[in-house]
Structure 1
Amino acid sequence: MAGLFNPTLTEPTSLAAAVLTDDNRMIVIVIAVVAIAALVVAQLLVRQVLAAGEGTDSMKKIAAAVQEGANAYLARQLRTLGIFAVIVFFLLMLLPADDWSQRLGRSVFFLVGAVFSAATGYIGMRLAVRANVRVAAAAREATPAEGEPAKDLTTVAHKAMKIAFRTGGVVGMITVGLGLLGAACVVLVYAADAPKVLEGFGLGAALIAMFMRVGGGIFTKAADVGADLVGKVEQGIPEDDPRNAATIADNVGDNVGDCAGMAADLFESYAVTLVAALILGKAAFGDLGLAFPLIVPAIGVVTAMIGIFAVAPRRADRSGMSAINRGFFISAVISLALVAAAVYAYLPSSYAELSGVTEPAIRGHEGDPRILALVAVAIGIVLAALIQQLTGYFTETNRRPVRDIGKSSLTGPATVVLAGISIGLESAVYTALLIGLGVYGAFLLGGTSIMLALFAVALAGTGLLTTVGVIVAMDTFGPVSDNAQGIAEMSGDVEGAGAQVLTDLDAVGNTTKAITKGIAIATAVLAAAALFGSYRDAIATAVAEVSAKAGEMNLSLDISQPNNLVGLVLGAAVVFLFSGLAINAVSRSAGSVVFEVRRQFREHPGIMDYSEKPEYGRVVDICTKDALRELATPGLLAVMAPIAVGFTFGVGALGSYLAGAIGTGTLMAVFLANSGGAWDNAKKLVEDGHHGGKGSEAHSATVIGDTVGDPFKDTAGPAINPLLKVMNLVALLIAPAVVQFSYGDDANAGVRAAIATLAILVIVVAVYLSKRRSVAVGDENNAADRSSKSPDPAVVSQ
């Protein structure tokens, strides 16, 4: 293990010997065909979803407003991100590579990764805003208009759930299809050079996902918090009441944040995990390592199709979650069986039979590579299942933690907040332990070879990827169900049993979203741990070229060195700063929404008796502008912080920085996601009639808790996942440059200091400008003026 902590003691692993044989090329082509088949299945599911009825004219009108607002926001966001992507494209061309074809390929596939990530989010959102009204219409069949026959309640609930989950299935198939297709294309085109090019593909996916996750999260939670505080708490009107000017923006936000943002996030999790697995697979398994890491997720594509169609509710099910769990576990079990068959059919029985591996430690390693591969993949699949169950325990309405939060509402909002925080903190420990045990278990499989150990960790990540298709479906199910309930309540056309069906689906959706976030952070940790192997190899290769001038200081990852300890602390600190910036952005934007909604109630008293209509477009415009402006600072922090640490303290401190960020980020992300999910479902519990029901003091207390949890679970928490992978990939890309400017023939302390100073300056200025923006008490007119000065003609207004 000494080589991991001191690259100067380890010769770089030569990867050039690995090639793509004819047999492997055919396998990768078949994998690409499987990826395309996933996209075909997605199209078939689209037809099934759109074949359902859309309900009444009132429901269609509200749905159209949500569609228009979501499309307008996402179009503006993608135009903004497009400019950023072009700038990064040219910056990547300046980073070191073996030749210009690698530089060009890295930059081109950076754009491909960015486009695929954006497309996953956009396509998922486009269908979700068309499916939500169909779910509401299906639930309406339980309480039809006078003269229409009422259908069996269980049948109605099953139909509504099926539409919502099949919508998620479309997004799941697109995620795994595009992710697998992109990686397969890189391997087919670049073969032995694929790992270097894949770094660009992964960075493109991760960067765009982070921006979409942060921007969408700010939009959705600003509208949600504003709507709840003024509507529920101050005015005492129900959630999604059409008299609340923030309701359309709230429903728009569910789609641009929970759907588009999270879909892009899970796509980049998929892409970056594949990147790590292929980079290490090439080094550990030689020729076979270029194809085998793709075989595992390809099997996951097939089993995801089975899992999605297996989510068929039954009368005996305790809740909708039972059907979803059944589909998930069916998919996981079949995946494990098929992976076992593939391992024994594809891999040799000894490491000596692996061709293209030049590291003697691997060639002479005792044991069976098939056992390593199968157990590693099994660890990933089991880890996903355990996280799913653990997260469900802490966030489901029928489990003790949420019920305890519900009981605490009897003593006021303070105890609700305290109970939610305590549950989030506790759940983070158990989830971190599971992830840590998974990583360590995979690591032990490598024995004395650090490269095999890291590859085993990467394979555990690919095992987790076999469940991603179903996991994405679970995630999209949440916002579709939430929107369906909003449309039903705003239209007033779904009451009684039909409304309860939608309430139950929304509660299940809160749990599935929390589960998705837990599994997403697990993939981030596995991918980041695997990328350490690539980072180590990049340092070792760069150091070998400048060994005469390089010393141990600033190259070793030994944590006893003060500079490395500083890097560790800075990595942990960046996670806190990033989370604080995201939550504060929601707070500022929500303040603007609160003032605008209050202004409308004050200046237009006819809103309350329905004689005047709220100006929905103003709130949508406020959220749009704030989200696009606020996402810049967290994004710049993620990109510039590794550059500042690397060029200031060296590559050893940069590695420690990544370790600090991963450790802190894992705990912080799970804490934020589970606290928010538990608060949300505690509110649902009270609204179902417990502890006084709607309108009671207990209800107001849980609304406050849910409001606190909104930016936790839907903005800061899930954004940490792409943050970790962006920072890891940036560090991997700049490591050779850091070594070169420090010890190579081009060593220049002035250039190194200038780069570090520029990165620090960008961070300081971005944070300073962000902190200057605030909405304080008394700024109501300013908030309203800001909305009215430059309305967006593309944004919905009713």
Structure 2
Amino acid sequence: MSALYLAEGGEVTLSSSNLTYIIVAAVIALVALGFAAALVKAVLATGKGTERMQEIAGAVQEGATAYLFRQFKTLGIFVVIAVVLLFLLPVSDTGGNDTTVKIGRSLFFVIGALFSAFIGGAGMAMATRANLRVAAAAREATGGRETAMKIAFRTGGVVGFLTVGLGLLGASIVVLVYKSHAPTVLEGFGFGAALLAMFMRVGGGIFTKAADVGADLVGKVEKGIPEDDPRNAATIADNVGDNVGDCAGMAADLFESYAVTLVAALILGKAAFGEEGLVFPLIVPTIGVLTAIIGVFITRLRKSDRSGLAAINRAFYLSALISAVLVAIATFAYLPNTFDALHDSPLAASTTRNPQVVAIVAVVIGIVLAAVIQAITGYFTETGRRPVQDIGKTSLTGPATVVLAGVSVGFESAVYSAVVIAAGVYGAFLLGGGSITLSLFAVALAGTGLLTTVGVIVAMDTFGPISDNAQGIAEMSGDIDENGARTLTELDAVGNTTKAITKGIAIATAVLAATALFGSYTDTIRTALESANVGTGIDQILNVANPSNLVGLLLGAAVVFLFSGLAINAVSRSAGAVVFEVRRQFREYPGIMDGTQRPEYGKVVDICTRDAQRELMTPGLLAVLAPVAVGFGLGVGPLAAYLAGVVGTGTLMALFLANSGGAWDNAKKLVEDGHFGGKGSDAHAATVIGDTVGDPFKDTAGPAINPLMKVMNLVSLLIAPAIVTWSVGDNKNTPLRITIAVVAALIIVGAVVFSKRKPIAMSEAGEPGVPTDKQARVTA
């Protein structure tokens, strides 16, 4: 008897055994949240260091919390507007009560946004408490290196467990409540997570890099003082930025990767496997929760390890192997070996593939992809590898060659990573054996396989800013010896590499999710065309030789460039304001340099906060409205080509920006460790300049492209039925469609023009100096 059947009233339901599997997944998700709570208690029980350390950490915590609350108030407007629009848009799922599905989609949009905001906020809150404890642990005469590493990584584990726990819990609840309509409702869940993540990534990235660049240019280059010297008015803002950008922003980013990949897997799973397709994509991340727990607790730094990266790599690869084995066992236990034995699989009569083989190989491809991306990124960004050492050597000939070498490393590394990602996508695609639906489901399963390691990946990412902040707190307080300082410098360099690695893996998930969502998009178009009784085939609409589709492709590629340019320019403007403010304080308060006067740290925090909130609007509007303008203006075919342009260009751009920035940062660390002249040398100044160029690359524009791709895919998926409805058939409404496109385009143009008209932090005469009152952003 079919397990997926129509009960009274036409409601689609699931068999009792599969309901049990979903409930178990929800329970395991709650277990992950329980482990997060346990780790919070363990981390907070560790020592907090000296009173001066606690004072500095308190200022960082206060600034980060104030920024995040201000950002959430700003984003609340977008959430309200999006909820209304989601309810008004038609749904592609026509098999049930459309109003109920619309309400569910809007409701879970809010839940996805709240989960994303909570994970970002919780990650930041834990990081601002753990940084102090890591600095304190590094002061221990015996075992300080190992203890500091343990605290930093387990704090990251808190965020990792929250990510996998809330992501799996949300998806499980949707499937339990909405059953076969779950994929449509999950579109809202994924969109809410992705939208919040993008805004938090852009806003946090602008804040952190404006403070970082401003602090480095005045402190290191002009005044010749250390990076986290308390005499620099931008140091507190710099440390605040590490948390709002790298902790809050990246945690939300990886959560939305998790959520959106699940959305794609469930949409395509239903189309390929039937009922089992709604359950198996939940079984895989359930195993990921278990391996996350194992991975976090086996990450221990041994005295024989050359650096913390050895311990992290060992735990990551071991947890990846465990994931592969457990997924294989679960697949053989749950899935049959023929499509005929699946319950109501739409592909039962059209393929002879073995569902077990397809599922296992697809998931393993994702797991292997994560491991290979980690290895490639590590090679191009680790201090002990040739690329970073070569950049360090070029510092002997000045900043120009440092910049050129870093750009070269970024370009080259992007090619290798992109080829590996493409191979993973194509390998999964081949598993379909000619069935597009099965091939795309395999790609989605590869994404879920990659994310079985996401708990460890998030821990790796959060480890970076915690270590960076710990070093800052120790240096600003002065309460640490040479051995402790060496430990924190080592952990900071490891953190730079882990951040680069997690960015690479996040980009890989974005490509896998975008490919799978693209399949969902085309399926949505096909369904809408059939509902409108249009004879035009989907292949004709997506014909690449069609000039309008080529226009869409070019526009998609162009938007990635414009988005990146806006984000980097925003950092440049805000950093200029920070530079002038720090210079002003050094000039007007001469006692700062000899320690008799205290800098006004709050002024720089205010500048970065205000600029971040103002500057994030234009990139955000571009991401949401550009697909609307293209889709309603040119049609669903050009919109599909537009998405292809976004994914292709976005992948290479994001990898280039992330890896070049990471390499520049660690080249600076290499020189600061005493190579090529050490701190205070001309070589050091050259690498600082390279690092400041790379800062907005790796922490603002690069990471933001990841959620950008998924936001655009989800917006396109959501608007596709409306575009088809108003383009063909009895409901054709060309004036309304064109009006929507023109309004969206005008809003984008207006936002970009407004952004370009913002003043650069220069005097009216065009020479460096304190901005005039008319331009005053610095003195606010």
TM-score (norm 2): 0.96
- 1:82 matches 2:80: no
Q: By how many angstroms is 1:552 displaced?
A: 5.7
- Find the residue that maps to 1:523 and give its secondary structure: helix
Q: In the alignment, does 2:738 pair up with 1:735?
A: no
Segments of structure 1 that go 5 or more residues without pairing to the other structure are 1-13, 142-150, 791-798
Q: Is the 8 A contact 2:273 2:346 kept in 1?
A: no
Deviations 1:695-716 (A, max 9, x none): 0000000000000000000000
- How many correspondences in the alignment? 762
Match of 2:771 among 763, 782, 794: 782
Q: Distance in 1 between matches of 2:496 and 2:602?
A: 27
C-alpha deviation, 1:536, in angstroms = 1.1
1:569 is matched with 554
Structure 1: distance between partners of 2:12 and 2:183: 11
SS state at 2:343 partner = coil
Supply the AA of the counterpart residue of 2:555.
L
Match for residue 271 of structure 2 among 283, 296, 304: 283
Q: Is the 8 A contact 1:471 1:516 kept in 2?
A: yes
SS in 2 for 1:782: coil
Is the Cα–Cα contact under 8 Å of residues 18 and 357 in structure 1 kept in the other structure?
no
Q: State how far apart, in whole Å, the 2-side matches of 1:46 and 1:551 are.
A: 57
Q: Does the 8 Å CA contact 1:554/1:653 hold for their aligned counterparts? A: no
Q: 2:200 aligns with which of 193, 209, 212?
A: 212
Partner of 1:613 in structure 2? Answer: 598
Does the residue aligned with 2:542 lie in a helix, a strand or coil?
A: coil
**Contact in 2 for aligned 1:485/1:502 (Cα 8 Å):** yes
CA offset digits 1:225-270 (Å, max 9, x no partner): 0000000000110001000000000000000000000000000000
**Which residue pairs with 2:3 in the alignment?**
none
Q: Alpha-carbon deviation of 1:86? A: 1.0
CA contact (8 A) 2:541 2:637 kept: yes
Q: Which amino acid aligns with 1:264?
A: A
Contact 2:581 2:779 in 1 (8 A): no
1:599 has 2:593 as partner: no
Tell me the TM-score normalized by structure 1.
0.94
Q: Quote the residue 2:104 is aligned against.
A: 105
Matches within 5 A, 1:9-20: 19-20=13-14
> How far off is 1:76 after superposition?
0.4
1:438-478 deviation digits (Å, cap 9, x = unpaired): 00000000002110000000000000010100000000000
Note the alpha carbon deviations across 1:558-591, whole angstroms, 9 max, x for none.
1111000000010000000000000000000000
Which residue of the partner structure matches residue 304 of structure 2?
Answer: 316
**Which stretch has the larger CA shift, 779-788 or 341-350?**
779-788
Matched letter for residue 710 of structure 2: K
Residue aligning to 1:458:
444
What is the match of residue 726 of structure 1? Answer: 711
The correspondence of residues 63-74 of structure 1 with structure 2, limited to 5 A, is 63-74=57-68
Q: Secondary structure of the equivalent of 1:190?
A: helix
2:374 to 365, 368, 388: 388
1:131–1:164 contact (8 Å) kept in structure 2: yes
Mapping of residues 5-404 of structure 1, within 5 Å = 19-97=13-91, 98=94, 99-141=98-140, 151-152=141-142, 155-359=143-347, 362-404=348-390
**What code does the residue aligned with 2:100 have?**
S
Q: CA-to-partner distance for each residue in 1:638-695, whole Å, 9 max, x for gaps?
A: 0000011111111011001000100000000000000000000000000000000000
- Whether 1:483 and 2:482 are equivalent positions in the alignment is no
- Equivalent residues in 2 for 1:438-449, closer than 5 Å: 438-449=424-435
Give the conservation status (yes or no) of the 8 Å contact 1:66–1:248: yes
Task: Quote the offset at 1:775 in angstroms.
Answer: 1.6
In structure 2, relative to structure 1, the CA distance for the partners of 1:461 and 1:344 (3 Å cut) is same
Output one character per residue of 1:369-406: Cα deviation in whole Å (capped at 9) or x when no partner. Answer: 10000000000000000000110000000000000000
1:242 to 1:783, Cα distance in 2 relative to 1, 3 A: farther
CA distance in 2: counterparts of 1:783 and 1:39, whole angstroms: 51
SS at match of 1:463: helix
Alignment gaps of 5+ in structure 2 = 1-5
Q: In the alignment, is the contact (CA less than 8 A) between 1:176 and 1:267 conserved in 2?
A: yes
Shift of residue 788, structure 1, vs aligned partner: 7.2
- How far residue 776 of structure 1 moved from its aligned partner, in angstroms, is 4.0
Q: Do structure 1's residue 497 and structure 2's residue 483 form an aligned pair?
A: yes
Q: Distance in 2 between matches of 1:17 and 1:374?
A: 32
Contact 1:554 1:649 (C-alpha < 8 Å) held by counterparts: no
Identity %: 70
**Is 2:507 aligned against 1:521?**
yes
Structure 2 CA distance for partners of 1:350 and 1:554, relative to 1, 3 Å: closer
Shift of 1:367: 2.4
- CA distance 1:105–1:750, shift in 2 (3 Å): same
Deviations 1:287-337 (A, max 9, x none): 101110010011011011000001011122121100000110111011111
Q: Please give the secondary structure, in 1, of the residue aligned with 2:604.
A: helix
Using the TM superposition, give the Cα deviation of residue 787 of structure 1 relative to its aligned residue in structure 2, in angstroms. 5.1
- Bigger drift between 771-780 and 188-197 goes to 771-780
Q: CA deviation at 1:83?
A: 1.8
Match of 1:646 among 628, 631, 641: 631
Counterparts in 2 of 1:742-753, with a 5 A limit? 742-753=727-738
Partner AA of 2:691 in structure 1: D
The correspondence for 1:414, drawn from 384, 400, 407, is 400
Instruction: Provide the C-alpha distance between the structure 2 equivalents of 1:786 and 1:88, rounded to a whole number of angstroms.
Output: 34
Distance 1:19 1:373, change over 3 A: farther
Give 3-state SS (helix, strand or coil) of 2:275's partner.
helix
Deviations 1:45-70 (CA, angstroms, capped at 9, x unpaired): 11111111111110000000000000
State the match for 1:144 in structure 2: none
Question: Distance in 2 between the 1:535 and 1:671 partners?
Answer: 28
1:581 corresponds to which residue? Answer: 566
Aligned partners of 2:353 and 2:433 also within 8 Å: no
> In 2 relative to 1, CA 553–499 (structure 1 residues): closer, same or farther, beyond 3 Å?
closer
Which stretch has the larger CA shift, 642-651 or 772-781? 772-781
Residue 657 of structure 1: SS of its match in structure 2? helix
Matches for 1:787-798 after TM superposition, within 5 Å: none
Amino acid of the structure 1 residue aligned with 2:110: L
Rounded Cα–Cα distance in structure 2 between residues aligned with 1:340 and 1:664: 34
2:186 match: secondary structure: helix
How far the C-alpha of 1:507 sits from its partner, in A, is 0.0
CA contact (8 A) 2:580 2:778 kept: no
- Name the CA distance, whole Å, in 1 between partners of 2:13 and 2:196: 31
